[in-house]
Amino acid sequence: MSSTDSSRPASSESQSKKIPVVTFHRLIPNARLPQRADRSAAGSLPTRAFRYCEPATSASGYGYYIFPPISFSLQWDGRDVMWTWEGAGTWLPLKSAQFPGFRDLFDQVAPDEIREYSPPFLGALQEPGLIQCWTGIVARTAPGWSLMVRPPANIPRSGSYELYEGIIETDRWFGPLITNMRLAKTDVPIDFRADFPLLQVQPIPRHAYDDATLNNYELVPDLKQLAPEDWDDYYDTVVRPHVQEVRPRGQYAAAARKRRASESDGR
């Protein structure tokens, strides 16, 4: 979900009070904890891209990996969904399923008025082949920040399912961190591993996707309308590296890393 709220993140205040941008609460014991996303896209980027393609590595490392709380499998026949999990030994029809053993644990710990409201682990939605999955995590962000929930960046994706992307205002909504997926293959097991990222969540300031921000754009519809400073910048970006007698590789990556290090030192 998104918002047109125009509030701005209190970044300086958050830093002075050392408020984390995001806090992850693990509700399901033994589920793998979230971790910083990897600039090598979990080792899947080619070596040359990892060394020289700063846009790819920056996108890969932006955010946090979220893992399934257990290894499990789904199977869809075009109408009904079956599921099983590591150690279950059988397939079960999926409507709405609790994580194995979690409901009793939740009811033991939760206050009286919250008992019996443990979130389901998996649910088959009314649309054919659509599944909702809870990661076992609840997230809270600093004021003015939301979480983009998306597939892991630049990691090759399975052709058996497709994850939907969403933006959750996790500074206001303290609930299960879920994802929706569309199953794309029938009559074959679709496996999910507890040791491999299912999602990547990325903190974003809410004003970045406000209508007021996104509606503030300009179009230059013709090549002849480029200004002299635009041509100068194009020359520096595209032409100059080709006409240099000695052309260092990865100039953009080196400059971006140097600038990022300088900005970090100045904080």
Number of C-beta neighbours around residue 152 at 10 A: 22
Task: Give dist(CA 184, CA 190) in Å, integer.
Answer: 10
Model confidence pLDDT, tens digit, residues 190-216: 999 999 999 999 999 999 999 999 999
Q: What is the pLDDT of residue 14?
A: 46
Question: Is the CB of residue 165 less than 8 Å from the CB of residue 150?
Answer: yes
> Strand 35-36 vs strand 199-205: parallel, antiparallel, or unpaired?
unpaired
Q: Any idea which fold 11-213 has?
A: Deoxyuridine 5'-Triphosphate Nucleotidohydrolase; Chain A (2.70.40)
Task: Please tell me the pTM assigned to this model.
Answer: 0.84
Task: Give dist(CA 155, CA 142) in Å, integer.
Answer: 28
What contacts 30, CB < 8 A, 6 or more positions away? 69
Q: What is the pLDDT of residue 25?
A: 98
pLDDT tens across the length of the chain (267 residues): 444 444 555 555 545 468 899 999 999 999 999 999 999 998 999 988 888 888 999 999 999 999 999 999 999 999 999 999 988 999 999 999 999 999 999 999 999 999 999 999 999 999 999 999 999 999 999 999 999 999 999 999 999 999 999 999 999 999 999 999 999 999 999 999 999 999 999 999 999 999 999 999 999 999 999 999 999 999 998 898 888 776 666 666 566 666 666 666 666
Task: Give dist(CA 198, CA 180) in Å, integer.
Answer: 11
Task: Give dist(CA 125, CA 150) in Å, integer.
Answer: 19
Q: Give the side-chain half-sphere CA count within 13 A for 27.
A: 27
Q: What is the pLDDT of residue 244?
A: 78
Q: What is the pLDDT of residue 50?
A: 87
Task: Give dist(CA 249, CA 54) in Å, integer.
Answer: 12
- What does DSSP assign to residue 112? G
Task: Give dist(CA 261, CA 243) in Å, integer.
Answer: 28
Q: Where in the chain is the domain with CATH 2.70.40.10?
A: 11-213
